[in-house]
Structure 1
Amino acid sequence: MTPSTGTPLSRIVKFGKAPAKRDSRNLQLSAVLKAIAKLPAEYDFDVQHHGIPTPMFGNDYHGDCVIAGRAHQTLRFEDAEQKKILPITDTDVLNEWHKENGGTENGLSVLDSLKLWRTKGWKAAGKTYKIKLFAEIDRKNHDEVKRTVYADVGCGLGFALPDSALPEFHAGKPWTQTTGPAKQENGHYVYVPGYTATGPVGVTWGRKQQMSWAFFEKYCDEAYAVIDAADTVKKQQLLNEKKVDAFLAGLKKK
């Protein structure tokens, strides 16, 4: 199968995130990501690394957004590390999604899926990829979201979207409307490689999607930094590797 390279805007999209789980034992990002004296007003990994695609990864006909987001993160992790675009396919994404949901069409828990990514890894483009660890982002702290993105650490946001999100998306508009209620049945996971003064910029349903900070505050119900490896100068400067290693050592003892 040829790799996904991009998908025309489709009127058909699927949700697929289960309600957010909470775990007080989660590593907090503030414990391992150093402060940055002055963040740029805007930043996008994809502007710094040209040619990264934004495939649908089957999320038009399947509720596989959690794994599709993982695929978008993996593309960027490995572009930074291997200096190439992995040929990740829709089949890679759907195989992992079905493995994690038991072959059903059920949505996935982001927290459970991250744990599997860390411990078991997933097979993409013929190779198994694992992450080093994940950490919970303080959703009330815009700078923490921006620091995660600027550090080129994976940033994944879970939402309980309002019904207005789909009309805005299909009209090619940013997510800014905040009058409707959050709906658990509209659970969705979005990988975020960038931000502007307006708010985070995610990759979802085959393209980039700007959202406002007000939208993020109202509808984001979970946010995680996903740390692959300290494989860039920026990560080496901003991640507190001693604390990262101490946390991982503690996990091994459990």
Structure 2
Amino acid sequence: MPDYRIAPMPEQLPAALVEKLQRVETATIGHSQHWGFMDRGIQPLLRGKRIAGAAVTLAIPGQDSTLLHHTLGLLRPGDILVVDRLGDDKHACWGGGVTVAAKAAGAIGGIVDGPCTDLTEIEDSDFPMWCRGMSPITTRLYNLGGTLNLPISCGNVPVKAGDVILADESGVLVLPRDEAEAIADAALARQERGERSQDRVKAGEKLGDLSGATKMVLDAIAAAKG
């Protein structure tokens, strides 16, 4: 018998936290944090998209997408489906039909640790997707089992159902729910400082002077001369 292990759907994020996270760039957090970022091989299929929400976690084996089809009927508005392909990098579990179903359920994005297919249909649906490129070889309904809303690995990062997902053009970040707001607040403050620095550079100041890099270089040269 196939082994299906299914846990309840996770609690969704408060609207205020989602709104705050949607103003945060993953690269801003990457200035000061080095954990939680998925492997950079997981890239966006659509440009100019940023999503934030709670992870619905799915693990399905190689050629099979039976549990994925079932999960599409459980998705809620605001969900982000994160799919562990259990090491498979050949079969595309996500294509045009899955995209239409996920969007109709109100999901705001999908993240697959493997390839997708039907790029044009995904683009036509304007549905944000992150994956490891494209493949013409697709999954079928083999009824092999899988897990839903249990811990998974995606992009070499552990993901639990309900974890916070922030994804944009630079990549995908996974955050613990109880740390997400503080991280977002710090990132927004950093972005504001960065915008002020850019304005000063546009006005004629030198980036090296503002960042302190020029002083470091000159001090090192002076110390070497001795």
Range of TM-score over shorter length: under 0.3
Provide TM-score, normalisation by structure 2: 0.26
